[in-house]
Amino acid sequence: MLHPSYTDLMKVVNSEVGEGDTPVVNSRYSIVMATAKRARQIIAGQADVTEEEALKPLSTAVKELNEGKIKIIHDEAAEEEDDEALKALLRDEAALLGETLQPEEEEEQSGEESAE
């Protein structure tokens, strides 16, 4: 038996959801996908928020989720966050290169490149 159980993890993840609101997760599949994604992040080098280094990445992900140290974000929200992070990165890179591209200019440049 896994400790904590799927139902325990679901309770922790959904603990901040108000009465009548849609739960963050409502299936074991969602819990498995969230912990697997977090384990891949840990393997890729993203810092884990627990202090125990002896745990395997999946065990660390389960522990973080159970302790409420990480939050599950729906794919749409995660995509929006990724888009914003990418835009910020591109702005920073342009600033380092001394360029100041506006969103309209970026679209025009990409359109010109694809037409050639």
Q: 34 and 60 share a domain?
A: yes
pTM of the full structure: 0.48
Q: 44 and 83 share a domain?
A: no
- Could you read off the pLDDT tens digit of each residue along the chain, which spans 116 residues? 457 787 888 888 888 878 878 888 888 888 888 888 888 888 888 765 666 666 788 888 888 888 888 777 777 766 677 667 777 777 777 777 776 555 555 555 545 545 55
Give the phi and the psi of residue 90 in degrees, each rounded to 5: -65, -40
1 found inside a domain: no
State in Å, rounded, how far the first CA of the chain is from the last one. Answer: 60
So what's the pLDDT on residue 16? 81
Name the residue range of residue 28's domain: 6-66
| Residue where the block lists tokens 């400790």 | 3
The CA distance from 40 to 100, in Å, is: 35
Domain count across the chain? 2
The CA distance from 53 to 41, in Å, is: 15
107 found inside a domain: yes
Q: 27 and 45 share a domain?
A: yes
Estimate to the nearest angstrom the gap between the alpha carbon of 113 and the chain centroid. 32
Q: 60 and 79 share a domain?
A: no
Estimate to the nearest angstrom the gap between the alpha carbon of 108 and the chain centroid. 31
So what's the pLDDT on residue 2? 56
Q: 80 and 60 share a domain?
A: no
Q: Which of 26, 41, 66 is the last residue of a domain?
A: 66
